[in-house]
Amino acid sequence: MSNTATISHDTGGKTPGAHPIVGHLVPTWLLVFVGTSLLMLTVITVAVRYIDIGEFNIVVALGVALVKATLVCLFFMHLRWDRSFNTLVFVVSVVLVLLMMAFLIMDTNQYRDTQFDGNAPNAESTLQANAPGAPVARFKPYSP
Amino acid sequence: MTTLQSQPNHAGDAHGADGAHDGAHGSAEHAKYPFLQHHFDTPHHQFDSAKLGMWLFLATEVLFFGGLFVAYAVLRNRFPEVFSYSSHYLDTIMGGINTCVLILSSLTMALAVRFAQTNRRIGLIICLILTFMGAIGFMVIKYFEYSHKIHDNLVWGTTFYVPPHDAAGELEAKELSVAPTTSITLNPVNPAVFAVPTLAQTPAVDASAIKQASRAPVGLATPTQMAKAEGLPTGEHDPSFAHPATHLVDKKMPANSHVFFAIYYAMTGLHGVHVLAGMVVIAWLLKRAIRGDFSSDYFTPVDVGGLYWHIVDLIWIFLFPLFYLIH
Amino acid sequence: MTTINISQPLDTAARPDNYITHTRGFMSWAFTLDHKRIGVMYLVSVLVSFFVGGVFALLVRTELLTPGQTIPGVTADVYNHFFTLHGAIMVFLVIIPSIPAALGNFIMPIMLGAKDVAFPRLNLFSYYLWIFGALFTVSSLLLGGFDTGWTFYTPYSTTTSAGGVIPALTGVFILGFSSIFTGLNFIVTVHKLRPPGMTWFRMPLFLWAIYATAIIQVLATPVLGITLLLLIVERAFNIGIFDPSMGGDPVLYQHFFWFYSHPAVYIMILPAMGIISELISVHAHRHIFGYKFIALSSIAIAIFSFLVWGHHMFISGQSPLLNTLFSLISFSVAIPSAVKVFNWMSTLYKGNIVLNTPMLYALAFLVLFTIGGLTGIHLATLNTDVHLHDTYFVVAHFHYVMMGSALIGMIGGLHHWWPKITGRMYNENLGRIGCIIVFIGFNVTFFTQFFLGSQGMPRRYYDYQPEYQIYHVISTIGSYIMASGFLLTAYYLLASLFGGRLAPANPWGGRSLEWQCASPPPFDNFATQPRVGDCYDFAAIRWDEKEQGYVVDPALDSTLNPNLAAKNSH
């Protein structure tokens, strides 16, 4: 922006350790603590991956991810001390993504049972009649 | 003061540029703070607006990636066995290291903001450099991950089914002559309409079956290669060793397994692009920090750049379990 | 207080410095940070694009005069390119940016009594993104064009041999970011740059509309971005996400596309509704009726717009469950729009209506939007949509709302703020004639298409059964009438720049802050923060002979004189 050589000294100057005139100063210990927690949570979630608890694997993995994300948002990204409108903006965007996901999963689930791999039934029966045992063409390479 | 009087003629049209001699617009604030743009009243006003603007941009990033997360959800919902199977080709440890690297770079970024806020220029510069190095580290690890997979043709689309060539230029595995089995139970509404032959069904793939990757027909691969191939999907790999693409000879590979890699490259690729963009941002902040632009009065670009870097980290925090931690 | 110094009459020789004359030269415009100049550049760009899109429209309509080939050289393939380009240019280059970026950029900060938008450099960057997006779209014409329809549906868009698809997709992608940054800028501006005294419920309704639009722009457009990106990757690398033979789903593309494109249509209409609130209240000299209802209905429309995208996909293969859900919710989205129409009509009632050009456009909007909105209900109804989908009924519906409402609103706003932007008055008689010609031409063109569609004529078809020909001929004649109306409008507006009467600061008697600075505004809008009153309180306005315009009279201002409050109509 501007050349700070012209900053007048009544702005508070450049004294190290000065307090910022805007915003909030997060204590260093808190930042390091959050960082360490994030690292530990990462180790935990990787370790859990090797333990088989069936269906709950994804729940645990995403749950830990959610905790990590919350820590990053609240402390690294300052939301804990920021205007709540900024949090609202972020939350609304996430909600919209989840809304889209919900609708799409609902939709695809409805016709999932009728989807299958392979040729259309009539084509399949013709193929089998004329060339029994021939490999089914599944993937059509892209031809521009 | 009426608006019909002619206004003092400012040099150039970029009226935001120099507020230093903007006395006619009043406010000692503008004279006191050279960085304060003319349409804002106080530094706090400008800072608040900048933060809101950045959060709105982060919302757009969430929605941008969100589309891909939705695509992931739809695909995984349809092909759960594909995701279970294919994720074993991803190196969990590498992914975990990448996650830690990104978290550490996030920490150094947050510390950089703090140093900027407290006028500690040296600390700020060091932390920005560390963050930048974290980003480089992330991209380097990612490069190794990608190159390894691309060598094996563990890629999107039809290339997935093309056998890779070894160093001698020979095909490493015969082209798949047997159609991969489908694992979707066919549930025809009216059997007469769906006059298809019974498609072979396989149960859900379990890890032990993959660890002992089935061998190709005799004569296809050397015993050494096959022995090494058995150990492959556990995630340990020797980059110097060219191994056959196990997925092509594994009869238990679910149909449409390429779909996993399509969405994998799409999401991690786009994330990588954002990491590169973040590196540009950090480099620019570094340049300005060295020039001495930031102080306890004005550190907004560092703060706002930090927010961007944190969201890059945030997205990876969700990408990691979704791809690497599938059991 | 920034009332006009009425002892100093406007004098051409001593015209004060304004934003146009402040600095000169190409560079001072190319690198300007002044929202007014950026708004004017957008305006010119959008109007040029409108002309180009209009030419394609006339080509389409002319080709449809007869079944089979009409224009020599225009085969079915070429015809596909024509309607695709018409749609893509009009949607992405004209309607979406027109009101927010062109008029909004100019008027909004002045309406707020602010010196600029929140992020002036981002504003300029948005404009350059628009230019780049437009260049990519034009370049696609040179690289083989694209014939997929503006909706780029798979599998055709991923397999068509037209070479301009990827450049066009890239162009639209870039335009999307232009839209996002404009919206971002406007949200922060409305939140942070309101003057003291202007609480949320004292803002002019145009700003509420722009704000709601900006919310949609910021939240919906990124999804378009990722959709286009996926389409580019699918086309270039065949990842298979939309290809059933590779495990993908073409309906997935449609979901992604319409998740943005439905909210996009509200990006188009909401600002126009905001303009209509201004036009009707100012030109009927009547306090807007139901201010809070109109303001909150804008936000309601923005929220609801995200919940109804599936009504574009009723026959695509979407599940019956979602079909029902979307049909239901689509009915409810009509309610906030109806609330607005009732409030506008109530504002007109017992108003001191002046039938000048802006008011005529506002009245045209009311008629055309009602027709467009009601026919939208036909399409939201699941069972009728099964018959009407992809017919000319849909074409007629969306032209009524996108062109007959959004564009008409934009042109009305252009006339309303023309004196402010250019400092000139246009020829009022020609303005009225132009509006009437456009209105007549529009209805002849598109009302006919409702009949075409309900009788089964599919859209995007080059050839048709002979029994449809009479409707097509009538429709085409209407399009020529409309085109001549637009040409007349362009003529008198351009002529006013060279010979129009100089405009006073407040030619219409408006009460919002933009009428309290000179026409054209000075370089920095307001030297000091103007005082905010009730922006729909027209009792405080009186005509000034020397000024040849309206002025705000503090003696009549009820916020200063509480005993006057009872006199003011509400």
Question: Residue B171 sits in a domain of what CATH number?
Answer: 1.20.120.80
pLDDT of residue B158: 80
Q: What percent of chain A has pLDDT over 90?
A: 51
DSSP 3-state of B319? helix
Interface with chain C: mutation pick from A93, A98, A105, A107, highest number of C CBs within 10 Å: A107
Candidates B13, B39, B53; nearest CB to C184: B53
Residue appearing with tokens 């890699």: B261
Neighbours of A83 (CB within 10 A): 14
- Average pLDDT for chain A: 81
A with B: how many residue pairs have Cβ under 8 Å apart?
244
Q: Which residues contact B289 (CB under 8 A, 6 or more apart)?
A: B116, B121, B124, B125, B128, B302
pLDDT beyond 70 at C537: yes
- Is C241 in contact with B85 (CB distance < 8 Å)? no
Q: Which residues contact C281 (CB under 8 A, 6 or more apart)?
A: C287, C288, C347, C536, C538
- C20: contact with B, CB 8 A cutoff: no
- What's the rounded mean pLDDT across residues C295-300? 97
Q: How far apart are CA C46 and CA B64, in angstroms?
A: 27
At C544-569, the pLDDT tens digits run 888 888 888 878 777 667 776 555 44
DSSP 3-state of B295? coil
Write out chain B residues lying below 8 Å of A86, CB-based: 51-52, 55
pLDDT of residue C548: 86
User: How buried is residue B178: exposed, middle or buried, by Cβ count under 10 Å (0-12/13-18/19+)?
Assistant: exposed
The residue among B26 and C170 whose pLDDT is bigger is: C170
- What's the rounded mean pLDDT across residues C285-290? 94
At B67-85, the pLDDT tens digits run 999 999 999 999 998 998 8
pLDDT of residue B18: 31
- B77: contact with C, CB 8 A cutoff: no
Q: How far apart are CA C287 and CA C567, in angstroms?
A: 12
- B297: contact with A, CB 8 A cutoff: yes
Q: Find the length of chain A.
A: 144
- A35: contact with B, CB 8 A cutoff: yes
- What's the rounded mean pLDDT across residues C425-441? 97
Interface with chain B: mutation pick from C178, C192, C255, highest number of B CBs within 10 Å: C192
Tokens of C194: 């309101």
pLDDT of residue C461: 95
Query: Closest residue of A to C251, CA-based?
Result: A108
- Average pLDDT for chain C: 92
The residue among B180 and C348 whose pLDDT is bigger is: C348
At C104-153, the pLDDT tens digits run 999 999 999 999 999 999 999 999 999 999 999 989 999 999 999 999 99
- In chain B, residues 101-120 whose CB comes closer than 8 Å to chain C: none
Q: What ipTM does this complex have?
A: 0.93
pLDDT of residue C119: 97
Does the beta-carbon distance from C321 to A138 stay under 8 Å?
A: no
- Is C54 in contact with C91 (CB distance < 8 Å)? no
- What's the rounded mean pLDDT across residues A75-96? 96
Does the beta-carbon distance from A110 to C320 stay under 8 Å?
A: yes
Where are the alpha helices (H) located in C305-356, listed in sequence order?
A: 320-348
Q: How far apart are CA C326 and CA C379, in angstroms?
A: 11
At C211-266, the pLDDT tens digits run 999 999 999 999 999 999 999 999 998 888 998 878 889 999 999 999 999 999 99
Helix (H) or strand (E) holding C88: helix C76-88
Q: How far is CA C442 from the centre of its chain?
A: 17
Q: Chain B: give the shortest CA distance to residue C230, in Å.
A: 8
User: How buried is residue B220: exposed, middle or buried, by Cβ count under 10 Å (0-12/13-18/19+)?
Assistant: middle
Q: Which residues contact C115 (CB under 8 A, 6 or more apart)?
A: B25, B38, B39, C109, C524, C525, C526
pLDDT beyond 80 at A5: no
Query: Closest residue of C to A107, CA-based?
Result: C319
- Least confident range of A67-71, A117-121, B129-133, C533-537: A117-121
B211-220, long-range: CB within 8 Å, 24+ apart, which pairs?
B213/B246, B213/B249, B213/B250, B214/B249, B214/B250, B214/B251, B214/B252, B215/B249, B216/B173, B216/B174, B216/B244, B216/B249, B217/B174, B220/B173, B220/B174, B220/B244, B220/B249
DSSP 3-state of C129? helix
Q: What is the DSSP letter of B159?
A: G
The residue among B270 and B184 whose pLDDT is bigger is: B270
pLDDT of residue B152: 83
At C475-527, the pLDDT tens digits run 999 999 999 999 999 999 999 999 989 999 999 999 999 998 888 999 888 76
- Is C128 in contact with C29 (CB distance < 8 Å)? no
Write out chain B residues lying below 8 Å of A39, CB-based: 100, 103-104
Tokens of C429: 């008689």
Interface with chain C: mutation pick from B5, B42, B47, B60, highest number of C CBs within 10 Å: B60
Q: How far apart are CA C483 and CA C395, in angstroms?
A: 18
Domain count of chain B? 1
Q: Chain B: give the shortest CA distance to residue C363, in Å.
A: 34
- What's the rounded mean pLDDT across residues A100-129? 81
At B94-106, the pLDDT tens digits run 999 999 999 999 9
Q: Which other chains touch chain C, taking contact as 3+ CB pairs less than 8 Å apart?
A: A, B
Candidates B4, B66, B78; nearest CB to C5: B4
At C57-107, the pLDDT tens digits run 999 999 999 999 999 999 999 999 999 999 999 999 999 999 999 999 999
- B75: contact with C, CB 8 A cutoff: yes
The domain locations on chain A are 26-82, 83-113
Write out chain C residues lying below 8 Å of B70, CB-based: 256
Between vectors from CA A85 to CA A90 and to CA B127, what angle results, nearest 5°? 65
B with C: how many residue pairs have Cβ under 8 Å apart?
172
Candidates B34, B69, B189; nearest CB to A7: B34
pLDDT of residue A119: 61
Tell whether B201 is covered by a domain: no
pLDDT beyond 80 at A73: yes
- Least confident range of B169-178, B311-320, C410-419: B169-178
Q: How far apart are CA C79 and CA B282, in angstroms?
A: 49
Q: Which residues contact B87 (CB under 8 A, 6 or more apart)?
A: B260, B323, B324, B325, B326
Tell whether B102 is covered by a domain: yes
Write out chain A residues lying below 8 Å of B60, CB-based: 93
Q: What is the DSSP letter of C151?
A: T
Does the beta-carbon distance from A108 to C246 stay under 8 Å?
A: no
Write out chain C residues lying below 8 Å of A144, CB-based: 161
Q: What percent of chain C has pLDDT over 90?
A: 81
Does the beta-carbon distance from C252 to B74 stay under 8 Å?
A: yes
Tell whether B291 is covered by a domain: yes
- B9: contact with C, CB 8 A cutoff: yes
Candidates A31, A93, A121; nearest CB to B194: A121
Tokens of C538: 């027209």
- C52: contact with B, CB 8 A cutoff: no
User: How buried is residue A131: exposed, middle or buried, by Cβ count under 10 Å (0-12/13-18/19+)?
Assistant: exposed
CATH architecture of C37-567: Up-down Bundle (1.20)
- What's the rounded mean pLDDT across residues B206-223? 33
Write out chain C residues lying below 8 Å of A140, CB-based: 243, 245-246
Tell whether B214 is covered by a domain: yes
pLDDT beyond 60 at C36: yes
Q: Chain C: give the shortest CA distance to residue A85, in Å.
A: 10
pLDDT of residue A94: 97
- Average pLDDT for chain B: 75
The residue among B235 and B273 whose pLDDT is bigger is: B273
Give residue B319's domain range.
51-187+206-327
DSSP 3-state of C257? helix
Q: How far is CA B262 from the centre of its chain?
A: 14
Query: Closest residue of A to B234, CA-based?
Result: A50
pLDDT of residue B170: 59
- What's the rounded mean pLDDT across residues B107-120? 95
pLDDT of residue B151: 86
Q: How far apart are CA C126 and CA C104, in angstroms?
A: 13
